[in-house]
Amino acid sequence: MNSVLLTKLLEAGTPPELVGEVAMALARAEAAQDALTRFREKDLAHTKAYRARRGLPDSGWHSLVGAVIERDGFVCTYCGKNLAKGRYAVDHIVPLGRGGTNDLNNLTMACIGCNSSKRDRLLGTEWTPPKDRLPK
Ligand SMILES: [Zn+2]
């Protein structure tokens, strides 16, 4: 790995204790990089499994989310909450399990609160948004 660099430092007359510190720092950086890689792989696997469960397209989902954000802005359609600085969800207005699709017209911006409160219920009949706001 970095043994070539460490050898060069020693050959250049760098004090061995300094080379030792460089070696330790490099090892820590490598361990951090490995941990990050493992986290990203786990995250990616989680995302793939979630999409598979919900029948979401593996590719194209990001551009769909981008189109929803472009259309709705960072505002919860249901309660009007500003989502620019917090977490948000893209909600299926008609839930997938109730015959809804991944079509742009069936997707809307929602805050985590509205999204988890609505769950797989139908808008208007089974679930009413706070303040009676209905998506346009
Ligand atoms: Zn909301």
Both 47 and 68 in a single domain? no
pLDDT of residue 55: 73
The alpha carbon of 69 and the centre of ligand 1 are apart by a number of angstroms equal to 15
CA distance 2 to 23: 8
**Residue 131 one-letter amino acid:** K
The alpha carbon of 106 and the centre of ligand 1 are apart by a number of angstroms equal to 16
Domain end marker among 53, 76, 93: 53
Both 88 and 73 in a single domain? yes
The alpha carbon of 22 and the centre of ligand 1 are apart by a number of angstroms equal to 50
Both 31 and 65 in a single domain? no
Both 114 and 96 in a single domain? yes
Number of CB atoms found within 10 A of residue 92's CB: 22
Show the low-confidence residues of the chain (pLDDT under 50): none
The alpha carbon of 99 and the centre of ligand 1 are apart by a number of angstroms equal to 23
pLDDT digits (tens, 9 = 90+) for 6-41: 999 999 999 999 999 999 999 999 999 999 889 888
The alpha carbon of 39 and the centre of ligand 1 are apart by a number of angstroms equal to 30
The pTM assigned to this predicted structure is 0.60
Both 70 and 121 in a single domain? yes
CATH code for position 75: 1.10.30.50
Both 72 and 22 in a single domain? no
Q: How many domains does one find in the chain?
A: 2
Residue 24 domain boundaries:
3-53
Both 21 and 63 in a single domain? no
The alpha carbon of 40 and the centre of ligand 1 are apart by a number of angstroms equal to 29
The alpha carbon of 114 and the centre of ligand 1 are apart by a number of angstroms equal to 4
When computed from its CA atoms, the radius of gyration of the chain, rounded to whole angstroms, is 24
Number of CB atoms found within 10 A of residue 108's CB: 22
pLDDT of residue 126: 95
Both 83 and 109 in a single domain? yes
The alpha carbon of 45 and the centre of ligand 1 are apart by a number of angstroms equal to 28
The residue length of the chain stands at: 136
